Amino acid sequence: MAKALQPLEDLGDILTPTDVQRVLGIGRNATYELLASGKLPSIRVTPRRIIVTRQALEAFLGLAANTSIAGTP
């Protein structure tokens, strides 16, 4: 049985890779490939902890108009 997608509106401003998986409906490997490639900007907080801002995910999905991700104009 397929897992239900998580609506982005139900999440906070700071997301985990698991949150990203649930929103996008993709697997763990695909999620970490997106993060490693930089296609979806993330922040490595510790060697084992990665976070994604809601703003970055919205920009990746094309939902945010005229938003900038930290460090970009």
**pLDDT tens sequence for the chain (73 residues):** 457 788 888 889 999 999 999 999 999 999 999 999 999 999 999 999 999 999 999 999 998 655 455 545 4
**Helix (H) / strand (E) containing 46:** strand 43-46
Strand 49-53 with 14-15, pairing: antiparallel
pLDDT, residue 7, reads 85
**Helix (H) / strand (E) containing 37:** helix 28-37
pLDDT, residue 41, reads 96
Indicate the domain borders of the chain: 12-61
pLDDT, residue 4, reads 76
